[in-house]
Amino acid sequence: MEIVFLGTGGSVPTRYRNTSSTAVRVGSEIILFDCGEGTQRQMMSSTVSYMKITRIFVTHLHGDHFLGLPGLIQSMNFAGRLDPLSIYGPEGTAALVDSILHLGYFQPSFQVSGHDVEDYDIVRGKGYSVKAVRTDHTIPSFGFVLMEDGRPGRFNKERAIELGVPEGPLYSRLQSGSSVTVKGTRITPEMVMGDPRPGLQIAFSGDTRPSEHFMGSILGCDLLVHEATADVSLQEKASEYGHSTAREAAIVASLAGIKTLYLNHFSGRYEDVNLLLEEARDIFPNTYASEDLMTVQVNYDGTVISKKFQDVRAGNDPDDRALS
């Protein structure tokens, strides 16, 4: 999977960070998590095409997480979009989408549907599903877990040769789950395929205080994107407003057995987020700070490759940062 951070700041845009929005490329689709103001413009500076967005998941109905929706929908319409768009979020999301569709004389040429979700609701797509998980903010809120479907086991070519299966189309049929017949003998996929392998899982916290409910629902995820609004000296204030510190995000990642943690939703008071990064790494060393327009590739072997926007635009592959 490929993640593109479109906005990594909290509350209001700053010179360095836009408001919350993260895109994930799954096959030919783009799944968007939150859509703060200015998201469509961020996309124009990124590798993400808003015409390929099929679903948008809104964590909660604070403006910095949804105010980009009207402009994004209108831009899709002006570009001639015909494919439907589905938007999911907490109670009130369906009504919000309906209100957007009745702004002035704006009437999109494609179907836009809003859906209210509840705890543990699952939205299924082609090759993936997204689970909503209740979080602990000041208003109804959800985190989301993007779960790739399981993958077939590895094909055992040596075993296939032993069974007399000739190289070519029959290999593909076995790998796709179909049985084949060779010289009167039926060969089933189980005879030449290894055990099924799990798909990747990526979790997004949205805005939340540290939440045992959320933590228990993301156990073992390959990557967690967790808000880190403030440093530990502001923990009491962060909790009052329904947020986490970077240290608390790291504790969640550690207890949940997460492989890689990315911090985001930084308060505008931090032009430099190294303080937050250091506090998190004291607890969970495999932590990184997200940046606007950063691209992150999550691999099946457990590695994560991160590119800053300047490197993506220039095509500077040698500057990729391989993270374990």
What is the model's pLDDT at position 212?
Answer: 96
**Band of the pLDDT at 103, cuts 50, 70, 90?**
confident
What is the model's pLDDT at position 318?
Answer: 36
Across residues 36-41, what is the average pLDDT? 95
Across residues 307-314, what is the average pLDDT? 64
Across residues 54-61, what is the average pLDDT? 98
Q: Does the pLDDT value for residue 279 go beyond 60?
A: yes
Q: Does the pLDDT value for residue 319 go beyond 70?
A: no
Closest CA relative to residue 55, chosen from 122, 134, 149, 104? 122
In this predicted model, what pLDDT tens digit does every residue of 227-277 receive, in sequence order? 999 999 999 999 999 999 999 999 999 999 999 999 999 999 999 999 999
What is the model's pLDDT at position 311?
Answer: 60
Strand ranges of the sheet holding 321-323, from the earlier edge strand across to the other edge:
112-116, 85-89, 53-57, 29-33, 21-26, 2-7, 295-298, 304-307, 321-323
**Band of the pLDDT at 315, cuts 50, 70, 90?**
low
- State the Rg of the chain over Cα: 22
**Band of the pLDDT at 17, cuts 50, 70, 90?**
very high
Q: Considering the chain, what is the average pLDDT of its residues? A: 93
Helix (H) / strand (E) containing 235: helix 235-240
What are phi and psi for residue 142, nearest 5 degrees? -135, 145
**Band of the pLDDT at 197, cuts 50, 70, 90?**
confident
What is the model's pLDDT at position 301?
Answer: 85
Across residues 123-146, what is the average pLDDT? 97
Percent of the chain with pLDDT over 90: 85
Query: Alpha-carbon distance 288 to 273, whole Å?
Result: 10
In this predicted model, what pLDDT tens digit does every residue of 205-227 receive, in sequence order? 999 999 999 999 999 999 999 99
What is the model's pLDDT at position 312?
Answer: 52
Percent of the chain with pLDDT over 70: 95
What is the model's pLDDT at position 213?
Answer: 97
Q: Does the pLDDT value for residue 323 go beyond 70?
A: no
DSSP, residue by residue, 48-93 = --GGGEEEEE-S--SHHHHTTHHHHHHHHHHTT--S-EEEEESTTH
What is the model's pLDDT at position 320?
Answer: 40
Q: Does the pLDDT value for residue 324 go beyond 50?
A: no
Residue 64 is a catalytic residue: yes
**Band of the pLDDT at 309, cuts 50, 70, 90?**
low
Across residues 179-204, what is the average pLDDT? 92
In this predicted model, what pLDDT tens digit does every residue of 223-234 receive, in sequence order? 999 999 999 999
B/e letters for 62-82, b = 16+ CB within 10 Å, e = fewer, are bebbbebbbbbbebbeeeebe
Helix (H) / strand (E) containing 137: none
| Structural domains for the chain | 2-151+198-323 (3.60.15.10), 157-191 (no CATH)
Q: Could you say which of 34, 64, 136, 207 is catalytic? A: 64
Two tokens, residue 219: 């156990």
What is the model's pLDDT at position 294?
Answer: 96
Q: Does the pLDDT value for residue 314 go beyond 90?
A: no
